[in-house]
Copies of this chain bind each other. A is one copy, B any other.
Amino acid sequence: MQLHKLAKSQRIEAEAWSALEKSIIYYQGRPIGTVAAYDNSTEALNYDQVFVRDFVSSALLFLIKGQTEIVRNFLEETLKLQPKEYQLDAYQPARGLMPASFKVVSHHGEEYLEADFGEHAIARVTPVDSCLWWLILLRAYVVATKDYCFAYHPEFQNGIRLIMELCLRNRFDMYPTLLVPDGACMIDRRMGIYGHPLEIQSLFYAALRAARELLICEGNQSIIAAIDNRLPLLCAHIRQHYWIDLNRLNAIYRFKGEEYGKTAVNLFNIYADSLPYYELDKWLPTNGGFLAGNVGPSQMDTRFFSLGNLMAIISELATEEQSTRIMNLIEERWEHLVGDMPMKICFPALEGEEYRIVTGCDPKNIPWSYHNGGSWPVLLWMLAAAALKTKKTYLAQKAIELAEERLHADSWPEYYDGKKGRLIGKQARANQTWTIAGFLLAKEIIANPAYLPLVSFEELPQELVSRACEFEINSYDTTMF
């Protein structure tokens, strides 16, 4: 019986690999990325593109399998698509930005790449996460190949610097977090994640860490100083202001509003009435906690966002204790956060008036569907990496087991709907590449923990953390670090 199961599992894995191979696209004869979905049954729409954020899962897998060339090509070609000029013109992507996607176009027998920076996307949202993922992937490539010289090449150094300048340069920011418009990440529709959403902050932190490792000092002193300044501040800000557990909930519950001046405790002027504290009181396990989905002026979004929380564990943006507590929460609230398909993109779904107001009545994001409480198999690899990092591998194994047969039987859909994730996503395509890659990657990471350092970081060096004091606003509770 056990043997039969193993054989089946191996067959599924082999089929997944073969599907992944089919998704590879070529540019001037060289592999350059994977298409979003290899699904002949529906119209192509924008699924013939290589999405930067989607490709990351495939890329990590290729790195693990020693197929480094496709990743190298991808990094080189996308770097060429990055705008290098200072832009004041409207409708021009900013210097440093990376495209959401690109596709190979043929013209008179000549192939070239056409990039989309969101100009053609539905509702024209900005793909802020692309440049952050790109940095994370570049660093993974270097870790996998040990080819530091690749990143030290002047063109790559310039690309990294431009991303850092774009993100670190002050504009209307008041915090160490990155200020972004709505839909600037994997959740690329209006979902109340404008401002300072965790989904972006976790990637921003990992990207800062990656850039810090890859930038050579010579000629980059000021940008490195800025990174060294920002890292501990961002870390302290998220660990303090985004963290929710029962202690913290009690503190927020008794916050006073309308504080003015330097000594304000309720920095963001959050009104407890706006929080579903009676739900959280019931839902939060005493040994659990998580990072809030968004924090801004009079705003604390207490939804659980998986990518942000898992990447915070993987990048050590969260403290070790916070990481453990996040995983405890996932374990204790497994039925809600994982259910029958790992795992929910966020929880709970926006319903009723909240759905109407926050999403603008988006029919694709109806409650418990798509971005609004749907289940996304690609998150499986982040769950696996976070579980490994917090020494709770059994959670990852349980999740992989849950997903395996379903995903295969359902032909690898992009997402699932419903409270338990038992409905194949209403508009999900089959053979979605990052579903396949996410599943395979989770298995690889768990089978061989040595792959974890491709995406994970160690705790921020103490000398950087202690520096935070030089810059920070007094209100940080230093006992937390």
Contact = CB atoms under 8 A, between A and B. Distances in A.
Given A195-B181, A297-B123, A90 B354 contact: no
Nearest to A126: B172
A184 B225 CA distance: 29
A257 B262 CA distance: 46
Given A91-B471, A94-B170, A190 B297 contact: yes
A358 interface: yes
Interface in A123-154: 123-126, 128
Contact of A90 (B165, B184, B233): B233
Contact of A88 (B168, B174, B189): B168
Contact of A123 (B120, B184, B230, B268): B268
A211 to B, nearest CB: 13
Contacts of A88: 165, 168-170, 222-223, 225-226, 229-230
Contact of A363 (B90, B94, B226, B271): B271
Given A90-B229, A357-B353, A357-B358, A172 B190 contact: no
Contacts of A176: 90-91
A122 B170 contact: no
A270 B360 contact: yes
B182 A297 contact: yes
A7 interface: no
Interface string A88-107: 11111111010000000000
Interface residues of A, number: 86
A450 interface: no
A271 B360 contact: yes
A120 B261 contact: yes
Given A90-B233, A189-B297, A119 B174 contact: yes
A122 B260 contact: yes
Contacts of A123: 267-269, 297-298
A46 interface: yes
Interface string A228-267: 0110011000000000000000000000011111101001
Given A97-B172, A125-B297, A271-B360, 7 more contacts: A91-B176, A94-B169, A94-B170, A181-B195, A271-B363, A298-B360, A299-B360
